Homo-oligomer: A and B are copies of this chain.
Amino acid sequence: MDALETRELRYFIAVAEELHFGRAAERLGMAQPPLSRAIQRLERRLGVLLLDRDRHGVSLTGAGETLLHEGRAALDAVTAAARRTRRTGGADRPGGRRGRLVLAVKAGASHELLHKLLDAYAAEPGAAEIEVLPSGTCEQGEMLRDGRADVALMHKPFNSLAGFDSEELMTEGQIAVLPAGHPLAARKSLSLADVEDIPDLPLARWARHGAYRPGPGPEIHDQTQLAQLIALGRTVAVFPDSARAWLWAEHAAVPLVDAPPVVTHIAWPAHSRSVALAGLIRTATRL
C-alpha cells in the first residue's frame, strides 16, 4: 500500500525540478519513456495527480508540491542513513576509529571557538576522532540533514536551527569592516543604516545558494576576495566580532550598535543517539 521506493522519489523530484520529462531523464541518465511510465505508476499508486501536463508544458499540482518538499526531506533522510552507516562501519574495521564524527563549520568562520572546542574535546578520555568539514555559505543545515555531517557549528540568525537540537555556545556583536583610510573608520560606533548607504562604498553581497540578491555591491563568494576588495577601498562588509582575528592592516573595524547579535550554536539531528556526539556536546557546553 505504501511502497514509494526511493528511486521513484528521485525520479519525481528530477521531473518536478526540471518541469520537463526530457531534461529530467537526461539528468537521471535514462531515456524519457521509462521516466514517464514511472511517474504515471507513482501517480497511480498514490491515487493522486502530481503533475499537470497540458499544452503549456508541465506544472506541479498541490499534491506535487507536497511530494516535492516532503520527498526531498525523505531522500535526505535516506542518504543520511546510508552515509552515517558507512561512516560507522569503518569503525569496526581494523585501524578504523570508533565513533568518528564529522563536524560542519562555516568555511572561514572564526577559528578561536573551534580550536578551543577541538582541544578541549581531544583532552577528554575516550574522545572520538573529529573530522572538520568546511561548508559553503550557510549550508551546514543541509549537511546535517543529508548525513554529510553529524554535528555542526551554526550561527543564528544566518542558519536556521529548525529541526535540530542545539545548545548555545557564544554570543557576539557585529562590526563593520571598512578600508582603513575611510572617514567612517574613525568613528567609535556605527549603525546599520550608516553602512547601508555609504557613498561610493556599497555593501558586499554574498552568494546564497549559488545566486546573488540584486544590488550595487560586488558579488563575493570567498572571504579572501572580500578582504582584498575592502582593503582596496571598493566595498564594506558586516561581520561578527570574531572576524577581527583575520583583519589586515588595511582594514578598520567599527562596532555596529544596532546589528542583531550573532549566536553560535552547536547543532545536531534531533534523533541522534551517539555517545561520541554526546561527549562533544558536553564538552562544548562546558567551554
Contact = CB atoms under 8 A, between A and B. Distances in A.
Interface of A: 2-7, 9, 46-50, 61-63, 65-67, 69-71, 73-74, 76-82, 84-92, 98, 147, 162-165, 269-271, 273
Given A46-B86, A81-B70, A84-B66, A61 B92 contact: yes
Report how many copies the assembly holds: 2
Contacts of A80: 70, 74
Contact of A92 (B6, B49, B69, B271): B49
Nearest to A81: B70
Nearest to A162: B270
Contacts of A271: 69-70, 73, 162-163
A247 to B, nearest CB: 36
A132 to B, nearest CB: 21
Contact of A88 (B4, B5, B62, B89): B62
A69 B73 CA distance: 16
A23 B88 CA distance: 27
B46 A85 contact: yes
